[in-house]
Amino acid sequence: MNSDLNKGRNAVVGPVSILALAVAGMLPAGSALAATMNGQVLGGGAPVASSTVTLWAASAGAPKQLAQTKSGADGRFTLNAPAAQGTSLYLVAQGGQPTANKAAGNNPAIALMTVLGAKAPGKVTINEMTTVASVWTHAQFIEGNAIKGQPLQLKIAAGNVPNFVDVATGDWGNTIQDALNSTQSPTMANFATLANILAGCVGQVKAGACTSLFAATTAPDGKVPADTLGAAASIARAPWHQPEKVFALLDNFYPVPAGKPAPRPTPFAPYLTYAPSSWVLPLRFTGGGMYAGGKLMFDSQGNVWVASNFQVGAQAQDYFWQGGVAKFAPDGKPLSPMTKGFTGGGLLGPGFGLAIDTKDNAWMTSFAGNNNVALFDKTGKPLSPPEGWTMGGKLTNMQGIIVTPGGDIWAADTVSSQLVRIPKGDPSKAELLCQNPGGDPLKNPCKLLLPFAFAIDQKSNIWITNILGDHVTRFPGGDHTKAETFKTGFSGSGIAVDSLGNVWVTNKLGNSERGRLKMVEMALAGKVNYDGEPDATSRLTRVMVEAMYPQKPGREGGSLTVLRPDGSEASFSPVYGKGITGPWAVSVDGNDNIWVANFSSATAGIVQLCGFRTENCPPGMKTGDAISPPAGYVGGGLQLQVDIGVGPAGDVWVTNNWQDTASCYGKPEEGASTRCGGQGMVVFFGMAKPVKTPLIGPARTY
CA distance 88 to 146: 12
The pLDDT of residue 86 is 85
Q: Stretch 289-308: mean pLDDT, rounded?
A: 98
Report the top-level CATH class of 283-684: mainly beta
Instruction: Classify residue 244 as exposed, middle or buried by CB count within 10 Å of its CB (0-12, 13-18, 19+).
Output: exposed
CA distance 323 to 531: 26
CA distance 478 to 460: 8
Phi and psi for 546 in degrees, rounded to 5?
Answer: -70, -25
* Three-class secondary structure of residue 285 per DSSP: strand
CA distance 324 to 354: 11
The pLDDT of residue 531 is 82
The pLDDT of residue 5 is 35
The pLDDT of residue 641 is 98
Listed by start position, the domains of the chain span 39-281, 283-684
The answer to whether residue 14 scores a pLDDT higher than 50 is: no
* Three-class secondary structure of residue 355 per DSSP: strand
Q: Stretch 527-538: mean pLDDT, rounded?
A: 88
CA distance 531 to 548: 19
Reported as type and span, the H/E element at residue 121 is none
DSSP state, residue 33: P
Among candidate residues 700, 500, 694, 493, the one with its CA nearest the CA of residue 611: 500
The pLDDT of residue 162 is 98
Reported as type and span, the H/E element at residue 9 is helix 2-26
The answer to whether residue 13 scores a pLDDT higher than 80 is: no
Identify the weakest region by mean pLDDT among 17-26, 466-475, 619-628.
17-26
% of the chain surpassing 70 pLDDT: 95
The pLDDT of residue 535 is 87
Among candidate residues 401, 329, 335, the one with its CA nearest the CA of residue 365: 401
Side by side, the strands of the sheet bearing 283-285 are 283-285, 681-684, 652-658, 640-646
Q: Stretch 270-291: mean pLDDT, rounded?
A: 98
Q: Which residues pair with 507 in a beta bridge?
A: 492, 559
The pLDDT of residue 17 is 35
* Three-class secondary structure of residue 271 per DSSP: coil
To the nearest 10 degrees (0 to 180), the angle between helices 209-216 and 243-253 is: 160
Q: Stretch 116-142: mean pLDDT, rounded?
A: 97
* Cα atoms in the Cβ-side hemisphere of radius 13 Å centred on 115: 34
152-192 tens-digit pLDDT: 999 999 999 999 999 999 999 999 999 999 999 999 999 99
The pLDDT of residue 33 is 61
CA distance 605 to 564: 27
Provide CB contacts within 8 A for 64, sequence distance 6+: 28, 56, 57, 87
The pLDDT of residue 452 is 98
**Cis ω on the peptide bond leading into residue 574 (within 30° of 0)?**
yes
Q: Which residues pair with 284 in a beta bridge?
A: 682
The pLDDT of residue 393 is 96
371-411 tens-digit pLDDT: 999 999 999 999 999 999 999 999 999 999 999 999 999 99
Phi and psi for 592 in degrees, rounded to 5?
Answer: 70, 15
Higher pLDDT, 168 or 28: 168
Q: Stretch 132-149: mean pLDDT, rounded?
A: 98
404-447 tens-digit pLDDT: 999 999 999 999 999 999 999 999 999 999 999 988 999 999 99
pLDDT band at 319 (very low <50, low <70, confident <90, very high): confident
pLDDT band at 269 (very low <50, low <70, confident <90, very high): very high
Identify the weakest region by mean pLDDT among 44-48, 314-318, 555-559.
314-318
The pLDDT of residue 70 is 98
Q: Stretch 90-117: mean pLDDT, rounded?
A: 95
Q: Stretch 489-508: mean pLDDT, rounded?
A: 98
pLDDT band at 24 (very low <50, low <70, confident <90, very high): very low
The pLDDT of residue 606 is 98
Residue 137's alpha-carbon distances to 648, 649, 688, 700, in angstroms, are 12, 8, 11, 21
* Cα atoms in the Cβ-side hemisphere of radius 13 Å centred on 24: 9
The pLDDT of residue 19 is 31
Provide CB contacts within 8 A for 47, sequence distance 6+: 40, 41, 71, 73, 74, 75, 76, 99
Q: Stretch 646-667: mean pLDDT, rounded?
A: 95
The answer to whether residue 468 scores a pLDDT higher than 60 is: yes
Q: Stretch 464-485: mean pLDDT, rounded?
A: 97
**Mean per-residue pLDDT of the chain:** 94
CA distance 68 to 71: 10
CA distance 584 to 601: 12
pLDDT band at 368 (very low <50, low <70, confident <90, very high): confident
Provide CB contacts within 8 A for 694, sequence distance 6+: 297, 298, 299, 300, 355, 356, 357, 358, 360, 403
CA distance 57 to 632: 36
CA distance 380 to 336: 7
Q: Stretch 196-207: mean pLDDT, rounded?
A: 97
The pLDDT of residue 27 is 42
Q: Stretch 31-38: mean pLDDT, rounded?
A: 75
